[in-house]
A and B are shown apart, each in its own frame.
Chain A
Amino acid sequence: MFDLIKKFKKLFDNSSRDFAKSTCSNSPMSNNINSEDNLTVWEKVQIARHPNRPHGLDYINYIFSDFFELCGDRFNENDNAIIGGIAKLENQSIMVIVHEKGHDIETRIKHNFGMANPHGYKKACRLMEIASELKIPVLTLIDTSGAYPGIISEERGQGYVLAKCLELSSDLNVPNISVIIGEGGSGGAISLALSNVVLMLENSIYAIISPEGCSAILWKDQKYKEKAAEAQKLTAQDLYKYGMIDDIIPEPKGGAHQSKTATMDQVKKYIMHHVNKLIKEFKENPESIKRKRAVKFLNMGNATDA
């Protein structure tokens, strides 16, 4: 275990140094929302992964007047990479499910770097079912490099559980809304993002595989990660252009980590706007929510040939 901690420490020290070199120099502290930063794709990747970016639990603590955590998958475990519970968003009761990566060595290990095991996704399924019973909307905040790859996670059916999450989300009879707040990593991300409304923060990313993984497989070497990141078209701006997401939430100049509260205020504003719209629609025509979501994803990316 100690070796593991050391290994992770090294990993993170490296990544923050890497980051500091490339982006911090040109981004003075500022709360200027609606910025048009000229960042490269790789800089965006680094900002999306920045350790000081607001994480799932930051949002939970900041945007709700109260939150009661619901724990456990009701089979055998409680996963800390996915946190969820009932919350009050202004006057609206809501079910919230977030990825949490942790912010220092201790919390990163506690939350398994935001890489959930099957019991995390099983917990998410359970919470979605509860939301459905309570007729309250579901909000998911996505921030994961991916579902955890391990022996136990395979034994407990990582693939099956991700598929079940997708199926359950597609079948929800209450509105759901997702925000990609940092990294939208592959199956571990989309399994919680099959939602009526999907938003992305300006400097978040959403992809089928990490740029490092893509580079290793297609270029046969990790060192082409920057090239891979560009080729993958994984920025919020690309995804919006392709019709994969519904809106982009602007970040403070230089990235969300420059002002956590300004970022979270903005995210809350967008969530409120869309939740209110969805609730109104749900009240007028409850059946339309599930149908529209299915139609949206069935046609996704097929109507608009780039």
Chain B
Amino acid sequence: MNWLTSWIPKIRSERSESVPDDLWHKCNKCEEMIFRSHMVDNMWVCTICDHHERMRAHHRLVSFFGSESNFKTEIPPRLQDDPINFSDTVSYKSRLKKARAKCDMDDCFEIGVGKLEGNSVVALAMDFAFIGGSMGRALGNAIVHAAEISIRNKIPLVLFSSSGGARMQEGIFSLMQMARTTIAVKKVKDAGIPYISVLCDPTTGGVQASFAMLGTVTLAEPGALVGFAGKRVIQQTIGEELPKDFQSSEFQFKNGFVDKIVHRSKIALEINRIINILK
């Protein structure tokens, strides 16, 4: 691959005007230009520096289950938008409309039920591209729905978190999702079914402080941001520089909050192993 990677950036700079944007992806870590199709084939892990880029929910499920035909999408009951009729500089309704058009999805998640090497699982992938993957009523409902599928079919629950936290535009409704989702995953665990939480970049705020940290087994992708309070808030409060690996997956592992850091290409394999050991 080296010969390829060394000339890609040059081509990019020469042809930047004429090449459509979606042909190339600029790695958010090493900043090299990489063929988008190579990123897709490599599950959005940088082919040069191994950085795990954020992944769209649908693509996450496709790569987790191995192919589009290995899982069926489940749609939870839909709730009315905008429970507190919220506006800041723009109305929440128009934010939602924009996000839906941009992301081609109803809210920040997708649920898939399918098989991993013969083991059925229900998996929910969060999508940071949709309003920062923030947790509002829709996500809370989706997690309750996925938990119900898990319990009804006695199949493990897998949740891929990727979220900046609560959806402020839903006010107290978003806070209450911390309680709802905690109860939902507890019901799965009480039924003797494993709940596997996979912490992806980023898992912060109210999402980290509820269902994401409560897995039977908790895995994390390398280099993901995982923490409760925002770095800026912490910095302002304590007035000091933060340590270098602060709030990374590795930091969480070191402090005892993650069972294993798993490369994206091995996630399905490792989850399947866990299920096989427990079944």
Contacts and interface: CB of A to CB of B under 8 A. Distances in A.
A153 B229 contact: yes
A167 B209 CA distance: 11
A151 to B, nearest CB: 7
Among B169, B182, B205, B240, chain A packs the most CB atoms within 10 A around the CB of B182
Given A149-B228, A156-B255, A163-B213, 7 more contacts: A149-B230, A149-B233, A150-B237, A151-B242, A154-B228, A171-B186, A208-B175
Interface residue range, chain B: 35 or more
Interface string B144-171: 1000000000000000000000101111
Between B209, B251, B255, the greatest number of chain A beta carbons within 10 A of the residue's beta carbon is seen for: B209
B227 interface: yes
B172 A242 contact: yes
Interface string A136-178: 0000000000011111011111111011101100110000000
Interface of A: 147-151, 153-160, 162-164, 166-167, 170-171, 186-187, 190-191, 194, 206-209, 213-214, 217-220, 224, 228, 231-234, 238-239, 242, 244, 294, 297-298, 300-302, 305-306
Contacts of B79: 302, 305
7 contacts: A149-B228, A154-B227, A158-B228, A160-B257, A190-B176, A234-B171, A238-B172
B137 interface: yes
Nearest to A186: B175
B141 A154 contact: no
A149 B173 contact: no
B13 interface: no
A220 B90 CA distance: 12
B209 A162 contact: yes
Contacts of B86: 231-232
A190 B175 contact: yes
A208 B83 contact: no
Contacts of A155: 251, 255
Contacts of A207: 171-172, 175
Contacts of A209: 166, 168
Contact of B168 (A162, A217, A224, A242): A217
Interface string B229-259: 1100110011010110011000100011100
Contact of B180 (A231, A297, A306): A297
Most buried by A among B172, B180, B183: B172
A151 B88 contact: no
B178 interface: yes
A294 B228 CA distance: 25
A208 B257 CA distance: 24
B42 interface: no
A208 B166 contact: yes
Nearest to A215: B88
A167 B182 contact: yes
A154 to B, nearest CB: 5
| Most chain B CB within a 10 A radius of its CB, from A154, A156, A213 | A154
Contacts of A239: 172
B88 A187 contact: no
A217 to B, nearest CB: 7
A160 B208 CA distance: 7
Contacts of A233: 84, 171-172
A213 B238 CA distance: 17
Which of B144, B213, B242 has the most CB atoms of chain A within a 10 A radius of its CB? Answer: B213
B172 A158 contact: no
Interface string B204-230: 111011111110000000000001111
B209 A163 contact: yes
A302 B233 CA distance: 32
